Structure formats: structure tokens, C-alpha cells
Structure 1
Amino acid sequence: MTTVRVAVNGYGVIGKRVADAVLAQPDMELAGIADVATDWRIKTAIGRAPIYAATAETAAGMADAGVEVAGTLHELLHSADIVVDTTPKHVAAGNVAHYREHGVKFILQGGESHKTTGHSFVAQANYASAIGRDSTRVVSCNTTSIVRVLGALRDAGLLLRARGVLIRRATDPWESHEGGIMNTLVPEPVIPSHQGPDAQTVVPDLDLVTIAAKGAHTQTHSHFWTIQLTRQATREEVLDAFRKAPRIAFIRMSDGLVALNSTIELMRDLGRPRGDMWEVALWEDLVTVQGDELFLTYQVFNEAIVVPETIDAIRALTGLAPDAAASMTITDATFGMRKEFLAAGGGTA
């Protein structure tokens, strides 16, 4: 089997998950991890893969902190076929010239703009247009969920237009001690919020508008959608469209999954690594159809949802899999992706 060597630059919230996912793939090798940190975050990677200093200036400090450094990012890129950049927002854009200079393919995350790579990626929607490219950008967690959910309806011939309200988490849980908001809710200052136009970089003909606000919580995002269907439809037709779509899993109020935190606790009880949820968690019992209108709500685990998309993007750029179905089959099997978290009537699915 052909394998590709993957470098991960940035070992934070997304980077550590991408590194884990690469290690689980039968057709990928983790060439190394680059970072600038000297604290517990990078120290948890010791022994898992070679560690490199992302800049020459930080190498000595990392070594002094007890992190054995195999070299700098420059050396790591020489030994890799592709690099996944999961550094903080806007840092990655500054690394692009370095990647191009080394002739290595690269994947950015949703914090960077579409124009940085000229291509934005969600596996089920536009895998084919990413095949063989030098670079792509895996869109943000919320945008990924929008493309998955609206894409399911579009593929079923049911989507006319969509209007959504997003309540975003204030900050990632690990850094909530550094800031965030408390006892308030902060609307984004522009309508449409950026998620709608961002989804259109993947599927240009989507007719959607998003409105967003930041809430005083750190666990996951929630979405509320009013959707105009192309015709009058039944609830079962809509549910069937979601059942056929990849990476959407049903949850139910009737199972006691009544809030964001209850779903997070379920992921832990299911033994998910880090409590991660890679699927969009759609409340099945709240899906409501009235004639040609659809109303629904779902949950997005912002720390993990883009990781399987990143793995598929690696395969697309390097030609490891010929199409989305082939790549997603491997990815979803290695992740243990589900269509339901709990079987109807009780028990795990």
C-alpha cells in the first residue's frame, strides 16, 4: 500500500487530534510534529513522533525545557510529502511561502481566508476538485457542519434556501482561564455572519444566510435552521436524507440528551478519545416539517469535527484515494464514526 508522510505544524487543539488521526490511518505515516511550545502541551507528544522546533529561535528553549528536538521545521519539511498547518489564526498564512519554497503540499485550517489557497474543502462536497492540488483549506467547524447538513438536503433534491442562527462557544475549554465572556451573549456585528459566505466557497450555489452570536459557554456550538424546501415533503423524507448523508448522527431529547453538555458527557461515556464528537449531532425528535418548510437544530463539537475532513484532504491532495467515497470509508472506519449514538429504544448503536 502506498503511504504518505505527513507533518503536523502546531500541536494545539486541532493539531494533536490530526496527529492522532494520522497515526490511525493505514496509508499515512506521521513524519513529525512542529511547535514552539515548551509546556505540557508539546510534552504530551514526546515519544509519539519526532518533535521539531517550528522556528530556529525556539529550538534552544524547547531543549532547555526537556523537549528533545529533532531539528527545525525546515528539516521536517524535507522528510514530509504534505504538511497540515494547525497553527493559530493568521500564523499559517505566514507559513505558506515556506511550504511553497520547499515544494511540499499543505493544508490550512478555517481560520485562514479562502484566497490563501484558492480552494476550500469539505470531503462530501468537493473532494474531486482537490485531487492533486498543492494546497487546500479545510473550512471551520461551523462551516463544515453547514455543508454537511445542507448538502444532505441538496443531494436529496430538497434544498431551496436556508436561514440559520448560530450560538457559538466563547472560547476553547483549555484556555477559558485566559478570557472569554460571562453572563452575556455577544451578537456578531455583521449579517450575514462569515459562516454562510464561507460555506459558499465550497458549494457556491447555496442560498443561505447565517446570523451568529457568541455565548457564555465553552462546550460546542449550536445551530438553529429554518429551511425552505423545493416542494412539500414529509418528515420521513427529510430524516431519510440525513440518514443517507455522511457524518451526521441522530441524538434525541427523549434519551435525555437535552442540552450541549449532555451530549459531551455521552461522548465520554462512549469512550471517545478526548470525548470527541466528529459527527454533526442532529436532534431527530426536533426535526419539524410544515409543508415546504423545515425546522431543525443540531450541535457542533468545534474541537474535533474538522479532523476527519483534514484526513480526507490529505488523501485528495496526495492522490491516495480516487474519490470521496473511497477516502471517507477508510477515515470513518478508523474513527469509528456513527449514524446514531444510541439505538432507538435504548442501548448504544
Structure 2
Amino acid sequence: MKNIAVIGYGVIGKRVADAINLQDDMKLAGVCDIISDWRIQNAVRKKYDIYAATEEAADKMKSEGISIKGNMQELLEKSDLVVDCTPKKIAALNVKIYKEKGIKFIVQGGEKHETTGHSFSAENNYQSALNLESTRVVSCNTTSILRTLTALKRTDLLDYARGTLLRRATDPWESHLGGIMNTMVPEKDIPSHQGPDAKSVDPDLDVITSAIKVPQTLSHMHYWNVKLKKQSTKEEVLNAFKTSSRIKLIQYDQGLVSNNTIKEMFLDMGRPWGDMYEVALWEDMLKIVGDELFYAYVVDNQAIVIPETIDAIRALTGIETDAAKSISKTNESLGIH
């Protein structure tokens, strides 16, 4: 049983904390942040141990009636590993602390690969993360790219891939602060950063991405054009995708015609926050023309990296050396079937 600290209790941090709490081979040591509003108050309601990142934050928490267990240093001292879910500039400072204290750590995809020297995707490179000091769980879009392309590569179908990403403008709860309206904003550089990021996990992937920010907040959507290694049938391609337990094949003709209808389905399934840990890939939209494959899918950027983070904890701490066993255990705990 390993003690795991979560630093940063935001969109990703709160989900990671809940997921850790569902496991039987790790324990949530506590959550640490600077906030004292409704977000951390919900952590109090869940009876999580609360730690303050700064003295100023501690004073504010106490003034709001939040009982704190101590500061960040004290949380790290009682933990075997820390999952850092803080914003980029904060995470970079925290990494120095983790290295000085000699504590294992996981950062999110917003950090650079060089921060850890290892980037993680459970179905792709679990073994190479075993007992490392640190890793980076790649971003939501990169995670989806690796899951789908690795499934095709695993079945010897993938030659190269070219993808277009329609990126949501911001997280739903922050849409009042920014985002875009009545416009679309293309990323200037092609490839966009997701293609090279996927190659940080698998250098052999021949993948190029382009990205466009669109005025909605529910999810990302990807369109892919893949050159197949050989003439293949639709059934062969679908069977390749089925080798990943974290790709969910969906049907456009069953009313799942948009990202909002897909979100509603996961809410109806009883997932917390309506979270979709899987890549939702349209089975009946998929087409093969000659040796080219065309498909599209939806990515929930708040949820897709949560199972990957749990698997990364197991790999770094060595509590499970078999990737398939960890993935199965995580899937069961989160209701991924």
C-alpha cells in the first residue's frame, strides 16, 4: 500500500484524488492547494486530508473554517509518490522540491518531456516506466493519438497518420473567464505539438497533426487519415481498435451524432461528472478507400488521462509490474468495460 499525494486540486487533481481513493493498492495521503473556496471545500466533504501549499493559503483556509493537516512539506514527508496537477509555472517550481526531497513524482502533459525524461501511456510503454523516479502522463489529445495509433500499429496495419484536431476552447467551469466566441483559431505551426509529443512516447510513429481551437467546451474532436501498410477490411481495422480496452466504439446511427449527445450518454451511465475515460470512436463513420483509413473520435480532456495516471503510479512505485494487470485493475475500478 503506497501513500500518494495530490498537489493541485483542480479539474485533473480532483479526479485523480477520487480515482486513487478507489484503488486497493494505494492510499490518498492528502491533497494540497492554495484555494479555500468551494473546490477545496468539496474535498473536505469527501473527508480528504487537506494541506496548504503556502502560509498565506493556510491562514485563508483556517479563516474559512477548513481544518488543515499541515503544509506541503509535511504531506511530502508522509508520501511515497506525488502527482502534481498544478498549472505549468507552479509545477516547474514544485519539481525542484520533489527532486531535492528524493520523492517520486508524476507531472501532467502541459510540462515538457525533458522535465522527467520519460513520457507515459499505459498501453504503450508501461514497462519502461517501472521503478523510475518520475514520468509525465502525456496530454489528453496525445493520449488519444497513442491509444488509436498504437492499436493499429500493434496489428501491423499502420504506415503513417495525419490528423486534424478540433480543440475545445477552455474547460467548462472557466468559460466565463475566457475562451473564444464566433470564431475559430488555427494553431500557427504544422505539425501542432501533439504529433511530436506522441513521438516522445513512441519515436517510430510517423504522425503529423494540425489543430484548430473552436468555440465550445465539451470535448475535443479528431479526424484522422491513416495510410495502411496493407489492403484491409473495415472488420480488420475495428478488430485492431478492439485490442485497446480504452477505445469505445460508438454508433452515429444510434443518436450519438455530436459531442453533447455522447456526454449525455456517459452522464446517463452514472459516470462522475459524466467523465469519458475512453476514446469514443465512431464505428459507422469509419471508411477505407484503397489503402487509406478515415475515422473520427471524441476526447474528454478532463477524464482521459485519469486511468493513465493511476497506471503510472503503479509503474513508478513497482506495486504492479504487469501492464495488462494494472490496466485491468484500473479499468475495473473506474467502470471501463
TM-score over 0.5 for the alignment? Answer: yes
1:100-139 paired onto structure 2 within 5 Å: 100-139=99-138
Name the structure 2 match of 1:32. Answer: 30
SS in 1 for 2:88: coil
User: Per-residue deviation at 1:203?
Assistant: 0.6
Q: Which residue of 2 aligns with 1:95?
A: 94
Question: 2:183 matched to which residue of 1?
Answer: 184
Instruction: Please give the residue correspondences for 1:247-326 in structure 2 after superposition, counting only pairs within 5 Å.
Output: 247-326=246-325
> What CA distance in whole angstroms lies between the structure 2 residues aligned with 1:106 and 1:246?
26
Matches within 5 A, 1:163-178: 163-178=162-177
CA contact (8 A) 1:90 1:111 kept: no
Task: Provide the rounded CA distance (Å) in 2 between the counterparts of 1:60 and 1:151.
Answer: 48
Q: Find the residue that maps to 2:257 and give its secondary structure.
A: coil
Deviations 1:103-160 (A, max 9, x none): 2100000010000011000001100110010000000000000000000000000000
1:20 maps to which of 14, 18, 21: 18
1:57, 1:319 → 2: CA distance? 36
d(CA) in 2 for partners of 1:97 and 1:55? 16
CA deviation after TM superposition for structure 1 residue 100, in Å = 1.4
* Matching residue of 1:11: 9
Partner of 2:228: 229
User: In the alignment, what sits opposite 1:342?
Assistant: none
- Using structure 2 for the length normalisation, give the TM-score: 0.99
Within 1, Cα distance between the matches of 2:55 and 2:7?
14
Task: Report the alpha carbon displacement of residue 89 of structure 1 after superposing the two structures with TM.
Answer: 2.1
Q: What stretches of structure 1 of length at least 5 have no aligned partner?
A: 339-349
Write the deviation string for residues 222-269 of structure 1: whole angstroms up to 9, x where unpaired: 000000000110110000001122200011111000001000011111
Query: Residue 156 of structure 1 aligns to which amino acid in structure 2?
Result: T
SS of residue in 1 equivalent to 2:27 = strand
Provide the residue aligned with 1:220 in structure 2.
219
What's the counterpart of residue 343 of structure 1?
none
How many Å apart are 1:191 and its aligned residue?
0.5
Paired with 1:308 and 1:172, the residues of 2 have a C-alpha distance of 19
Report the count of equivalent residues: 336
What do residues 312-348 of structure 1 show as CA deviations (whole Å, max 9, x unaligned)? Answer: 000000001112101101000101103xxxxxxxxxx
- The aligned residue for residue 62 of structure 2 is 63
Provide the C-alpha distance between the structure 2 equivalents of 1:33 and 1:19, rounded to a whole number of angstroms.
8
Distance 1:173 1:231 in 2: 42
SS of equivalent to 1:67: coil
In terms of mean alpha carbon deviation, does 56-65 or 245-254 score higher? 56-65
- Distance in structure 2 (CA, Å) of the matches to 1:141 and 1:211: 15
Report the Cα distance in structure 1 between the residues aligned to 2:325 and 2:100, rounded to whole angstroms: 31
Q: Which residue identity is paired with 1:164?
A: G
- Displacement after TM superposition at 1:90 (Å): 2.7
Measured in 2, the distance between the counterparts of 1:244 and 1:116 equals: 31
What is the letter of the counterpart of residue 6 of structure 2? V
For residue 255 of structure 1, what is the amino acid of its counterpart?
Q
Q: Which amino acid in structure 2 is aligned with residue 214 of structure 1?
A: K
Indicate the SS of the match to 1:308.
helix
Q: Tell me the distance in 2 between the aligned counterparts of 1:91 and 1:167.
A: 28
Distance in 2 (CA, whole Å) between partners of 1:306 and 1:71 is: 28
What's the secondary structure of 1:201's corresponding residue? helix
User: Once superposed, which parts of structure 1, at least 4 consecutive aligned residues long, lie more than 4 Å away?
Assistant: none
Q: For structure 2, which runs of at least 5 residues remain unmatched after alignment?
A: none
2:327 matched residue in structure 1: 328
Letter in 1 for 2:61: M
Q: Which secondary structure state, in structure 2, belongs to the residue aligned with residue 330 of structure 1?
A: helix
SS at the partner of 1:44? Answer: helix
Counterpart amino acid of 1:32? G
Question: Structure 1 CA distance, aligned partners of 2:55 and 2:110?
Answer: 25
In structure 2, what residue type is equivalent to 1:98?
A: I
Cα distance in 2 for partners of 1:11, 1:34 equals: 7
Please state how far the C-alpha of 1:56 moved relative to its aligned partner: 2.7
* 1:300-321 CA-partner distances (Å, limit 9, x unpaired): 0000000000000000000011
Q: CA RMSD in A?
A: 0.8
Question: CA offset at residue 85 of structure 1?
Answer: 0.3
- Could you tell me the percent identity over the aligned residues? 58
Rounded Cα–Cα distance in structure 1 between residues aligned with 2:147 and 2:221:
15
Q: Distance in 1 between matches of 2:92 and 2:101?
A: 15
